[in-house]
Structures are given as C-alpha cells and as structure tokens.
Chains A and B, each alone.
Chain A
C-alpha cells in the first residue's frame, strides 16, 4: 500500500527555507528508506519564494501569481511516497523523518488505488 508523506517544516527562515535539520540527517533517512526497499518516489521542494500559482477561470483565462507565501506556520517542504504494508508502518517511517522534528510535521496520506 502506498502512502505519501507530506513533509511540513515548522519554522521558516527569511528565504522561505526550513533551517532546522542537517543535510546529513536527511541523507541518512533517505538511505534508510531506500535500503528498506520501500522507496517509490520523493522530492524536496525549492524555497517558497520560488513558487508560482496558476488558476484558470471558467472562461479559460489564465491567472499567474507570485507565491503563495507562508501565511501559515507550516509549509510543504517536500514529499516522499513509500510502499509499506499498513498505516502503522507508514507512521513509523513518518516519525523517523527529520521533517517531523523541531516543530515540523509529516502528514501521512494513503495514495488512492483505483485499480482494486
């Protein structure tokens, strides 16, 4: 069963980045996920100042805006998709994720399976 871990950082610095975890923490976690054979996909996202929002009106008109900027305390910094037997296993991997510490949080969402 596939779960997406949406990794939210707690505090955001002036550049819109999340400073709290070291690169080594993330590399070690990434290695553990890959070694466990559960890695499906995952990316970390560039700083929020680089984000752009697109909306298309009912008339088909495209609106492009800068942002969004961090209006809430928590901001999506990356995601990981893992394939594990059940929610308890997914929650364990979420708890091991460096993004779940220092005020950050990881939201665990089952990936919808339309095949079954």
Chain B
C-alpha cells in the first residue's frame, strides 16, 4: 500500500504466482484480495463504464472466474490486471448483447471520458509482480476510489443509504454482511441498496471528486459516513452485544483509505486519529460479562499502545497548518485520555479547553454533556452538575442515556444518593443494550 501506515493486519500476498495444488490457500488469498481491493476494481470499472450496477456485476463475475481458474492454474503475475481485464471483457460482452443499455451508457461514459480520460490498463500479463506487500492498486491500477466515496456519500442520498452503499462498494461487504451489521433483514437491506443505486443512476448522481471550491462542503459528509460506521460498531445502539468490533475495524480501514486519498486534508487525519485513539481502548471497555466499563475504571494496561502512538502522530497532523476541524479536536481529547496514567492524572483543563473549541465547531447538547463532565473533573462535581442541570430542557437529551448517567454519577459524588438513584433509573429506561442495563442495575444495587 502506498503512503504511511498501510493496512493493519493485511495478509501477505502471493509473490510471483502460486503453483497449482495450493488450492485452499489460493482461494483464501483470492478472497483476501477481493476483500481488500474490491472497491479499487469497482471504482475503476465505474469510471470506465459510468454504471454502478454493471461495474458490480462484472466485478463479481471476475472474482468468480478467479476462484475457478487460479486454484488450478496459479495466481497470475499481475492479479489486479487479470481481474480488471476479465471484468472489462464481461462488461463489453454484456454491452454487445444489450444494445439499448449500451446506448444509454455510451452517453454516460462519454461524459466521464470528457471529465478525465480513463486509463487503459496494461493487459499483457507480464511486468511488475503483485508482491512485496503492495496491493495491485499501487502498481496496476490508479486509485479511483475517491470519486466512489463521494458518490456513495452524496447528500442527495438518505443517510442510512450512504452508509450501506459505502460498506458495500468501498469496504467490499456483501449485502447480507451489511444487513447483519445493521441488524436488519437481508431483504430490507437489499431493497435499500437497490433504491439508492436507482437514484444514483436515474437522477444521475455523478461519479466525480468535487472541485476545490466544493470540497469543504462535501468532505464532512464522506467523513460522517465513515464515523457513523464506527460509532455503530463501537456502541451498538440496540441488541445484546455492546460492541460490534468488525464494523469498527471496517470504519478504520475506510478511514485509512481516505487518509491516503486525501493526504492534504487535516480532517482525514483527524478522523483516522479519532477512530484509532478510541478503538485502542476496545479490550478494556467491556468487562467479562460484556458490561461497559467506564473510562475511569478501565485497566489502562490493556489499551493498545501501538494504536495510540499511531493515533497521536495523526493528531499532530490534524491540528497543524490551520484551524482544527471537529474530528481533529475530538481526536486531541481522546489522545489526552489515552496519554494519562489514570483519571486523576488526566489533563482536564486542556480537555475543557478543547470542548470549548468543539462547541463552537459543532454545537450540540451532547458536546455540552461531555464538556460538563470534564468541568466536573476540573472544578468539582457541583460545577459539572450545574452545567448538566442547565441542559435539562434539551429535547435531544431526553432519549440520551449518558446524560442521565452523568447526572447520576455527579449526584452520587455529592452524596445526594436518592437523586442519583432516580437519575440511574431514568437511564435504565432509556438504555438500548442489555450490558448497559446490567451496569445500571449494579449501580442501583439491584
């Protein structure tokens, strides 16, 4: 992979082709290739043919062909070029069979060509290898995923559809996997994806990267999609499990791709930093029964130090060279927590100062709740409680359990146990996951 970092846990890829007889390993290698690079291939085909459905169809056909041929014949020297060539041939065949479809796409393709000529990949089959840890994107295909990110996260699509499309087209998840991630039936998710693709096609949402003047308006939407994948994975909003790690890791993978594609954007560094600095605490965040463990009670020895170091380096990038964005500021807050040996040693004045910046960038009652908790740590529980009580009328906090939990904690620290119990019971009614409810019942001594 080009750029810094690379893909964590990325499997080593076959070097100069695999000889026949290593079938099982080869099949796994092929799946890994597609898991990682499906989006790369899809983006290239979308660029060439201007049609997401066709691109998806022939991408799937190409991988099926690879699964059939490679175990017997060996992985070609340039697997990426092989897959792209196979997919392109299937697309051309399809267009020859269906003239009306081809005529419609010809208009789209012409538009795309005008915008930027599609590169013609080398199909000779010789040349650079696939190995030395680099994906075929770096040496066989230009990385054209950025435009697909912007299409999938287009503001003309419903927010839930943006997330689903991004997971499918760029993370390479299958529709059943996306459905499982969001705890909806596969048929429901399939309908949602079909509807979103129909809108892209028929309203002609373009496959393009916004120009420099539009980018500040459009980038937050793309980052938001990745962030919402992460938060959905990090704290499942409903259901028995508190964390769905696979989604959080998908989000980090997507954030890494965006970071590589947009190296000059501080917020792409800020988002990746934030995800890493929060995800670094994953092992300490839940107890043996799956119950949530508060930051102050977490075993900090179980935090992922290399991940924290990677995140901290990115925070520096996110905060230098201009005004910080909301992801950079949130990452800086997360970094301060991650750097502290315990709650007492945490730099609360600095955290309050960062929340002061964040509330101007993205004002919201949730930011105010977090700021109030930080103020309580800096100035004492009474000061924090006064700020929380001032938020009592906020409609958005009525269904937000952390607000009631924070009030309960501060009331408890002030010795107002009866009121604390009332606040915990309020949170208990709102809490979405069973581990959260169990933790609240323990606070209540039930």
Contacts and interface: CB of A to CB of B under 8 A. Distances in A.
Interface in B193-229: 202-206, 208, 210
A86 B203 CA distance: 8
A108 B204 CA distance: 12
B100 interface: yes
B103 A116 contact: yes
A86 B154 CA distance: 13
B400 to A, nearest CB: 29
Nearest to B204: A86
Given A116-B100, A116-B103, A116-B104, A87 B208 contact: no
A88 interface: yes
A51 to B, nearest CB: 29
B203 A110 contact: yes
B93 to A, nearest CB: 21
Contacts, number: 28
5 contacts: A85-B111, A85-B204, A86-B204, A87-B205, A88-B205
B202 A86 contact: no
Interface of B: 100, 103-104, 107, 111, 154, 156, 202-206, 208, 210
Question: Could you say which of A86, A88, A110, A116 has the most chain B C-beta atoms within 10 Å of its C-beta?
Answer: A88
A-side interface mostly: mixed
Interface string A61-96: 000000000000000000000000111100100000
A116 B98 CA distance: 12
A1 B206 CA distance: 12
B203 A87 contact: yes
A110 B156 CA distance: 13
Contacts of B203: 87, 108, 110
Nearest to B101: A116
Given A86-B206, A91-B156, A116-B100, 13 more contacts: A1-B204, A85-B204, A86-B111, A86-B208, A87-B154, A87-B203, A88-B205, A88-B206, A88-B208, A88-B210, A108-B203, A110-B204, A116-B104
B115 to A, nearest CB: 9
A87 B154 CA distance: 10
A85 B104 CA distance: 14
A55 B85 CA distance: 57
Contacts of A87: 154, 156, 203-206
B198 to A, nearest CB: 11
Contacts of A110: 202-204
A91 B111 CA distance: 18
Nearest to B114: A85
Nearest to A89: B206
Contacts of B103: 116
A91 to B, nearest CB: 7
